[in-house]
């Protein structure tokens, strides 16, 4: 309790200090005070004296009480389609967990290709990838569905934390955790913060990114990274076991325990497939991603794959609605009041001796490794994404290149530490990988991901005509 009080006081103190600093030239008091309160909210997200949703709720209340913004302006983010897209995706994910379809998919892939440690690594990662478009929570996907399978498989191979950890378990968990960053980056609906990125890019630099555009931009660097990481992990952090034909037997046994595919699983699979098609063809069908997601959830409710009780109890969705809706609205108001343009202009002048290429690369590297100070991708996005893309564009960088480079960087920084993403504590807590090794592997694969996503990715986006 006392620790939370200290964190709360620190959050308030930082906000007050910035509030009472003289307003810089070129800014209105309203813009500066909004910035002060936004910083306090973000510090609250990082320190968490109370849960993140509570921090956001208290923050927007203070903004209204201080008359920094009108009530309608403060709550403007809750009308954002991106927010309701992510809520719908959370509900979609609940269907995969409730029906068991997520586990069935993982075991089917494992039974098909899992006769060696390397192939099992790919099978587990591929299961994660297939679930990603409809599962915006890495904790639910990698932690709730994939982790129990990987952990049970390791135990079946007599690989437990400690002396036998390197037989297979350590490799499995590191492969999943490192590829999780790639999986989050490949789809707009694969990580809760991605729709926020889309909103910020549109409001800050006028770049519109659809579900299909995101997937198209991510497909080449994503596939390359997805193929590279399990293989490279096999080289730099090899498992002691190489051939494990019993993995297929284990998967087959588990599938037999699950029995025949249920009616609700069939319905969910059909709805998921149709939603993917509609998301990918939005340019032709005229349906935006949020509309498609809401139609899909409605179908699940009508067919009783999901009950309204399931919806009400999906706390992750409603928690995300509160804090993300608050942040999206406030971030938009930072631009409206003039703070973001002012900051971009000031920062670009301080980098006047740099080319736009150097500026963008510097911002990407800073964004990537500043994540050592964050335990949440979404908190990191809310703190830095809008400001960084504004600075890069002000320096002359092509807007689409900027938006995509920093959007994907915001995902691939996930596994650099054991606390930097929601599944981290789950995987580290399993006890298979020591802290020093975890951080070394995290740094190594962060470099690999930067080379692939920014190096190869930028060339792919050039081919697509995005810049």
Residue-range definition of the domain harbouring residue 30: 1-69
180 and 243 share a domain? yes
102 and 43 share a domain? no
242 and 189 share a domain? yes
244 and 166 share a domain? yes
Given 315, 330, 347, the domain boundary residue is: 315
Q: Are 95 and 214 in contact (CB under 8 A)?
A: no
33 and 157 share a domain? no
Counting the structural domains of the chain, the total is 2
29 and 93 share a domain? no
pLDDT at res. 213: 93
pLDDT at res. 179: 95
140 and 37 share a domain? no
Angle between helices 289-302 and 81-99 (to 10 degrees): 40
Given 69, 97, 118, the domain boundary residue is: 69
- Which distant-in-sequence residues (6+ apart) come within 8 Å of 161 by Cβ? 169, 430, 431, 432
Asked if the structure places residue 223 within a domain, the reply is yes
Asked if the structure places residue 376 within a domain, the reply is no
Asked if the structure places residue 447 within a domain, the reply is no
Asked if the structure places residue 104 within a domain, the reply is yes
Cα 281 from Cα 289, distance rounded (Å): 10
Whole-model pTM? 0.79
Given 294, 315, 336, the domain boundary residue is: 315
Asked if the structure places residue 380 within a domain, the reply is no
- Which distant-in-sequence residues (6+ apart) come within 8 Å of 51 by Cβ? 319
Asked if the structure places residue 275 within a domain, the reply is yes
14 and 107 share a domain? no
Asked if the structure places residue 430 within a domain, the reply is no
Q: Residue holding tokens 């999986």?
A: 183
Angle between helices 399-412 and 377-394 (to 10 degrees): 160
Asked if the structure places residue 279 within a domain, the reply is yes
172 and 58 share a domain? no
The 3-state DSSP composition of the chain as helix, strand, coil percent (nearest 5) reads 80, 0, 20
Q: Are 426 and 147 in contact (CB under 8 A)?
A: yes
pLDDT at res. 178: 95
pLDDT tens track, the chain, 467 positions: 678 889 889 999 999 999 999 998 888 999 999 989 988 988 887 788 988 889 989 999 999 999 999 998 888 888 877 778 778 877 877 888 888 888 888 888 888 888 899 999 999 999 899 888 877 777 778 877 788 888 888 888 888 888 999 998 999 999 999 999 999 999 998 888 898 899 899 988 999 999 999 999 999 999 999 999 999 999 999 999 899 888 888 889 989 999 999 999 999 999 988 888 888 786 677 787 788 889 989 999 999 999 999 999 888 788 878 887 887 788 778 878 888 778 777 776 777 778 899 999 999 998 999 888 677 787 788 778 988 998 899 889 999 999 999 999 999 999 888 877 777 877 888 889 988 899 899 999 999 999 999 999 999 999 999 99
How far out from the chain centre does Cα 325 lie?
16
177 and 138 share a domain? yes
275 and 206 share a domain? yes
106 and 165 share a domain? yes
pLDDT at res. 411: 95
């Amino acid at each position: 309790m006392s620790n939370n009080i200290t964190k709360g006081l620190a959050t308030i103190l930082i906000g007050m200090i910035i509030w009472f600093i003289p307003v810089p030239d070129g800014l209105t008091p309203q813009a500066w005070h909004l910035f002060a309160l936004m910083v306090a909210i973000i510090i609250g997200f990082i320190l968490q004296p109370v849960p993140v949703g509570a921090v956001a709720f208290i923050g927007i209340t203070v903004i209204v009480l201080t008359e920094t913004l009108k009530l309608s302006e403060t709550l403007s983010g809750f009308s954002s389609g991106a927010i309701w897209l992510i809520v719908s995706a959370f509900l979609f994910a609940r269907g995969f967990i409730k029906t068991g379809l997520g586990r069935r998919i993982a075991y089917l892939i494992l039974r098909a290709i899992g006769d060696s440690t390397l192939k099992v690594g790919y099978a587990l990662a591929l299961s994660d990838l297939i679930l990603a478009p409809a599962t915006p929570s890495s904790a639910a996907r990698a932690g709730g569905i994939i982790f129990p399978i990987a952990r049970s498989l390791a135990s079946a191979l007599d690989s437990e934390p400690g002396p036998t950890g390197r037989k297979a378990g350590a490799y499995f968990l590191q492969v999943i955790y490192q590829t999780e960053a790639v999986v989050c980056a490949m789809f707009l609906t694969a990580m809760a913060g991605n729709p926020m990125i889309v909103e910020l890019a549109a409001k800050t630099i006028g770049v519109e990114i659809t579900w299909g555009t995101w997937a198209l931009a991510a497909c080449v660097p994503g596939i390359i990274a997805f193929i590279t990481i399990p293989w490279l992990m096999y080289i730099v952090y090899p498992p002691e076991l190489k051939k494990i034909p019993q993995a297929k037997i284990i998967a087959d046994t588990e599938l037999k325990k699950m029995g025949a595919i249920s009616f609700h699983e069939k319905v969910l699979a059909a709805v998921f497939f149709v939603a993917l098609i509609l998301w990918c063809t939005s340019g032709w069908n005229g349906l935006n991603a949020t509309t498609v997601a809401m139609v899909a959830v409605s179908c699940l409710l009508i067919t009783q794959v999901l009950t309204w009780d399931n919806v009400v109890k999906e706390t992750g969705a409603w928690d995300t609605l509160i804090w993300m809706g608050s942040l999206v609205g406030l971030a938009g108001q930072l631009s409206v009041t003039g703070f973001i343009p002012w900051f971009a202009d000031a920062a670009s002048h301080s980098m006047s001796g740099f080319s736009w290429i150097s500026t963008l690369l510097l911002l990407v590297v800073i964004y990537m490794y500043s994540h050592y100070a964050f335990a949440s991708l979404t908190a990191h996005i809310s703190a830095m994404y809008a400001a960084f893309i504004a600075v890069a564009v002000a320096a002359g960088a092509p807007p689409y290149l900027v938006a995509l480079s920093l959007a994907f960087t915001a995902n691939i920084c996930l596994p650099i530490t054991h606390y930097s993403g929601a599944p981290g504590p789950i995987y580290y807590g399993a006890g298979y990988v020591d802290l020093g090794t975890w951080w070394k592997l995290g740094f190594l694969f962060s470099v690999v991901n930067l080379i692939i996503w920014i190096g190869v990715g930028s060339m792919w986006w050039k081919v697509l005509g995005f810049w």
